[in-house]
Amino acid sequence: MTMFKKSFPNILLSGVVYYSQHSLAQAAAADKNNEVKVIFERMATDVLAFRDEMERVYNARCETGTLTQCANTNFNDCSSTLSSQQCMKADELVVSTCGDGNTCNALWDKSLSTVSIPAALAQAPLANPSDPEIIESACYSRLAEQYMVDKYKKDEEYW
């Protein structure tokens, strides 16, 4: 009986430590689960908002303004005419069909988004696409740019 009395505090202490660790682990797991749940809820909300924006953009694809803005757009990195275009340096980007790696290697305007079309789909003059569906998709998808820029700025700190 004396041995039991001496070891009982140790057993009790071990039980308390085990229970505390187990409870802390459960609490930490619950916190992580809640954090994951919040992230998934935010992602679901973001996906639905993006869907709504893309529906809006798709519905605006045939509006005169959309078509007018896109009428003279060029999709070629070597010959595009953009408002703030610049020659890319070899340490930034080399498009072998545009330059030799030493001189102007591609024309890019870093202040706006562009659509790049694979050469196989860009068979019209100035390496533009000729398929009306590709042209339409490239033109109307540009309408989502401001939404994506604003969303990125709003969420940058969170993600």
Nearest CA to 74 out of 107, 100, 104 is that of: 107
Burial 101-113 (b: 16+ CB within 10 A, else e): eeeebbbbeeeee
- Residue 40's pLDDT is 92
Sign of the alpha-carbon dihedral angle for 22, 26, 32, 33: positive
**Which pLDDT belongs to residue 14?**
64
pLDDT in the model for residue 80: 65
- pLDDT at residue number 82: 67
Q: What pTM, to 2 d.p., does this model score?
A: 0.57
How far apart are the C-alpha atoms of 109 and 86, rounded to whole Å?
6
- 102: tokens are 């030493």
Q: Are 78 and 106 in contact (CB under 8 A)?
A: yes
pLDDT at 11: 60
Mean pLDDT by runs of 10 across the 159 residues of the chain is 54 60 71 88 94 91 78 61 73 70 71 74 78 82 87 86
User: Residue 8 has what pLDDT?
Assistant: 56
Report CA torsion sign: 108, 112, 118, 122: negative
